[in-house]
Structure 1
């Protein structure tokens, strides 16, 4: 049932603009998931890539919230929703993809120059580059590496007109990642 909810959510809200980027929410999600699939990521990480910005579709804030100085906390909203249906291998990289941006800005001098202007703008709302203490804490998180990989795909998934699989084509990864199926398999 959750897979049907996801497909419906993308069908009804996926054509909204992805912030101030030149792609829609759906185009961005599909490009991110395609990059994860091309990297031979696990089903859980492909699912995280597909759904990393689902919080944008769930909140009721205006699309220009960052222009109004509002951090929509989409990573937290999305992870809370995903946590009801998927294991930590899915929702942890989602909740950490914003901290991963802050982490990369702090540890990789060239990374900031790779970000789009809207990502730079949201970075400031999200706390800017991490402090040394935040870096150390982030590196200890068992999902930090997955979050950094997701973040890099996220940053590269903003290409206008890029041909991608359809959302339905990711059903195998979505189904394989569902928590309720994993519990049934362990019986």
Structure 2
């Protein structure tokens, strides 16, 4: 009977500790840390009445940067470390597709928005422009159409919008612990 409890509690603490311990570093060339970025993104998801699973995805969307030792400086070196796939795969042992699919697709959503929405590219931060170049650049029209047909594409687009907005060094956010119950519920339901 202790196994389900361990399944629910240990991953949550592991994820919180990972964000606390490794998330304090600056986020690429941004003016915020990984942790500040994650908290801002999750807060924006909550402010937009996103389902809890998408709030959790927003909080954890860049976990791939933290769990891949080869990620540091990859974009600046012209390498796509595929943090979105790394993060989704890492989280898939605990969460279902309502959390992992938007994470796996948030880079594709950036590529989509750069193709489909006038002015989106111009709103990207310098770091997002640099990473976009190694991630394949804006989608073609055909790629954009194919992206929209994927399950969770709309959730990934919403996540991507919050991702770009979550880079304010002055923003006050809830604490990491405030999101613990949401993570626990997403784990319990494998959302």
Report the TM-score range of the alignment, normalised by the length of the smaller protein: over 0.9
Q: Does the aligned pair in 1 maintain the 2:71–2:83 contact within 8 Å?
A: no
2:112 to 103, 106, 117: 103
Taking the TM superposition and a 5 Å limit, the aligned residue runs for 1:5-24 are 5-24=14-33
TM-score, with length taken from structure 2: 0.92
Could you tell me which residue of structure 1 aligns to residue 138 of structure 2? 129
- Offset, 1:109: 1.9
Could you tell me which residue of structure 2 aligns to residue 87 of structure 1? 96
Could you tell me which residue of structure 2 aligns to residue 169 of structure 1? 178
Gapped regions of structure 2 (runs ≥ 5): 1-9
Could you tell me which residue of structure 2 aligns to residue 118 of structure 1? 127
What do you get for the CA RMSD once the two structures are aligned?
Answer: 1.0
**Length, aligned pairs only:** 181
Taking the TM superposition and a 5 Å limit, the aligned residue runs for 1:20-39 are 20-39=29-48
1:106-160 superposed Cα distances (whole Å, 9 cap, x missing partner): 0012100110011011101000011122112111112000000000000000001
Please say which of residues 89-98 and 134-143 is displaced more in the overlay: 134-143
TM-score, with length taken from structure 1: 0.94
Q: Is the counterpart of residue 182 in structure 1 residue 189 in structure 2? A: yes
Q: Which secondary structure does the structure 2 equivalent of 1:2 belong to? A: helix
Identify if the C-alpha distance between structure 1 residues 62 and 104 changes in structure 2 by more than 3 Å, giving closer, same or farther.
closer
Could you tell me which residue of structure 2 aligns to residue 153 of structure 1? 162
Q: Is the counterpart of residue 139 in structure 1 residue 167 in structure 2? A: no
Gapped regions of structure 1 (runs ≥ 5): none
Q: Following the alignment from structure 2 to structure 1, what is the Cα–Cα distance between the partners of residues 168 and 72?
A: 19
Could you tell me which residue of structure 1 aligns to residue 50 of structure 2? 41
Instruction: Find runs of 4+ consecutive structure 1 residues off by over 6 angstroms.
Output: none
